[in-house]
């Protein structure tokens, strides 16, 4: 699903990752759990993700305070630790301010 | 591959798309061509893409002028027209300024 975000400005956290071969089931379960948990946070606007050899997950947030609060969430921090130790061979996080947006909707 | 981008600030163009079922071979060929062409543009910093049910392509650029020039490139504009008419059921483009970045490299 393409996230239905409001008019800019808002924030995007771009998470790019290369997976290890380890623990596919545990990883999939944790991903689902974190997506559900993120959706409950104040300032959450939506999420988009796809995986080929590279994994891309982009979460959208109202402001930097929302991103900071989510980063400090205890269950999220525990998942991040597991990610570093077990699931990711490499990753990059980029925090970006969305300045403009345009597109075409289904049927449009 | 995770793009090797410089220290922020720089720009990201986030392209999120839902494909039609049409013309898989033509689409794949055009995607390859556009990735090669983008890499030749001034200000290009890298590209990351992945596709599940949703497709995500993030291209990174030095500044807004580089993004504008790429958008106005004639072959790119022709590809965008074909995309709207034939390959995409829906898409969203978000232009964002990357303010900070951190990560873990392979082996790190």
Which pLDDT tens digit goes with each residue over A36-91?
999 999 999 999 999 999 999 999 999 999 999 999 999 999 999 999 999 999 99
Residue A106: the pLDDT is 77
B93 pLDDT tier (thresholds 50, 70, 90): very high
A88 CB neighbours in chain B (<8 A) are 104
Residue B106: the pLDDT is 77
Structure tokens at A78: 């525990």
> Hey, what CATH class is B10-98 in?
alpha beta
Inter-chain touch B96–A96, beta carbons under 8 Å: yes
Tell me the ipTM for this assembly: 0.94
| Cα(B89)–Cα(B42) distance, integer angstroms | 30
Residue A48: the pLDDT is 98
Cβ of A86: how many Cβ atoms within 10 Å?
13
Q: Is B81 at the interface with chain A, CB within 8 A?
A: no
Which of helix, strand or coil describes residue A78? Answer: helix
Residue B45: the pLDDT is 98
Residue A66: the pLDDT is 98
Structure tokens at B34: 């556009």
Q: Is A86 at the interface with chain B, CB within 8 A?
A: no
pLDDT: is A24 or A16 the higher one? A16
Going by C-alpha positions, the residue among B34, B76, B18, B80 that lies closest to residue A105 is: B18
Q: How far is B40 from chain A (nearest CA, A)?
A: 22
Inter-chain touch B14–A58, beta carbons under 8 Å: yes
Domain ranges of chain A: 10-98
Residue B108 has pLDDT above 90, yes or no: no
Structure tokens at A95: 């925090």
DSSP structure string for B48-88: EEEESSSEEEEEEESSHHHHHHHHH-HHHHHHHHHIIIIIE
Mean pLDDT of the region B4-14 = 98
Q: How far is A52 from chain B (nearest CA, A)?
A: 5
Residue A108 has pLDDT above 80, yes or no: no
Q: Is B12 at the interface with chain A, CB within 8 A?
A: yes
Inter-chain touch A99–B104, beta carbons under 8 Å: no
A59 CB neighbours in chain B (<8 A) are none
Q: Is A7 at the interface with chain B, CB within 8 A?
A: no
**B22: enclosing H helix or E strand:** none
Does pTM surpass 0.80? yes
B107 pLDDT tier (thresholds 50, 70, 90): low
């Amino acid at each position: 699903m393409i996230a239905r975000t409001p008019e800019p400005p808002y924030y995007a956290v771009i998470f790019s990752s290369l997976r290890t071969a380890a623990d596919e089931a545990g990883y999939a379960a944790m991903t689902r759990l974190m997506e559900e948990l993120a959706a409950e946070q104040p300032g959450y606007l939506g999420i988009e993700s796809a995986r080929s050899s590279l994994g891309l997950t982009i979460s959208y947030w109202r402001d930097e305070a929302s991103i900071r609060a989510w980063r400090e969430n205890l269950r999220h921090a525990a998942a991040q630790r597991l990610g570093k130790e077990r699931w990711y061979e490499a990753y990059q996080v980029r925090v970006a301010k969305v300045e403009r947006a345009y597109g075409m909707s289904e049927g449009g």
